[in-house]
Amino acid sequence: MSGQLKEVRERIKSVNSTQQITKAMKMVSASKLRRAQQAITEMRPYANRLDNILRNILSNMEGEAGSSFGVVRDINKALFIVVTSNRGLAGAFNSNIIKEAVAKIEANYADVRAKGNLSILCVGKKGYDYFRKRYKDCTIIKDYVLLFDDLSFEHVAQVSQFAMDGFANGDYDVVDAAYSRFKNAGVQFSECVQFLPVTKIEADPNAKTEHRADYIFEPGMEELLEQLIPTILQTTFQKFVLDTHASEHGARMTAMDSATENANELLKGLKISYNKARQEAITRELSEIVGGAAALGG
């Protein structure tokens, strides 16, 4: 019985230690989430507006200067950007992003992969570890795995610039990105979106008159778009990264909160088991004492 009591005490001690860790991780994630949430909340309206402007411009250019990022080509070579986190302990956060990416690859790029023309650019160690082991027939680009160490615009823009250069040079006919869109601490949506070519805004077939965005370019259209379009695309990708960053901390905070609650429930059960075992030991000892006294008295 003493061995059973010792085992239960050790388990209680172990669960208490784990609970302290999960509580600390929850507090750290909550602190980081506030900053990450503020960053994406301030960034998203600006990025969405710029993205809408870009699509409007390309929809109305019809092959004019600066529209190379909107050119649709036959897909022979593809680049897939997967944005995950560097660390785990965030529930199903990383696995959900990877599942979305794998589903899109299997549905849309199976032929491209079979030809050996699929490249996967991994942002975050978790995505890199997954695709490095399971997609050996693809080109895995690991140059930007540690991107989350520095989320400045200039640093993150290196990835979008790499994708834009590859698309402009014909190295890739399409560029997709898988990331996690942040809603709140408890809700994140894993998404796959087409980064390049930029999808144009389709005209409404029911509209009586054709709508054409009327932009005045100053100084000149070519000179302005040469700077404007890459900057808008870089801003859009910055939004993908900041969304994923906030989603990671929200998912980890939720996961650690659930782990702490589970530890509480486990402790309750262990304490009940400990008290029962202790009571049984005391009862047995009393019975032995009473039995011994009765034998001596007899």
Instruction: Spell out the domains of the chain, with CATH numbers in brackets.
Output: 21-201+214-256 (3.40.1380.10)
Q: How confident is the model at residue 212 (pLDDT cuts 50, 70, 90)?
A: low
DSSP 3-state of 56: helix
Vertex 167 angle, CA 162 and 170, to 5°: 125
Q: Which pTM value belongs to this model?
A: 0.84
Q: Structure tokens of 79?
A: 């680049």
Q: Alpha-carbon distance 237 to 151, whole Å? A: 12
Between 153-168 and 221-297, two packed helices, what is the crossing angle to 10 degrees?
120
DSSP 3-state of 279: helix
Q: Structure tokens of 272?
A: 């009940």
Of the ranges 124-128, 171-175, 204-208, which one carries the lowest mean pLDDT score?
A: 204-208
Q: Tally the C-alpha atoms within 13 A of residue 71's C-alpha that lie toward its C-beta.
A: 16
Percent of all residues in the chain with a pLDDT value above 70, rounded to a whole number: 89
Q: Alpha-carbon distance 3 to 160, whole Å? A: 61
Q: CA 186: distance to chain centroid?
A: 13
Q: Alpha-carbon distance 34 to 22, whole Å? A: 18
What confidence tens digit (pLDDT) does each residue in 141-167 have? 999 999 999 999 999 999 999 999 999
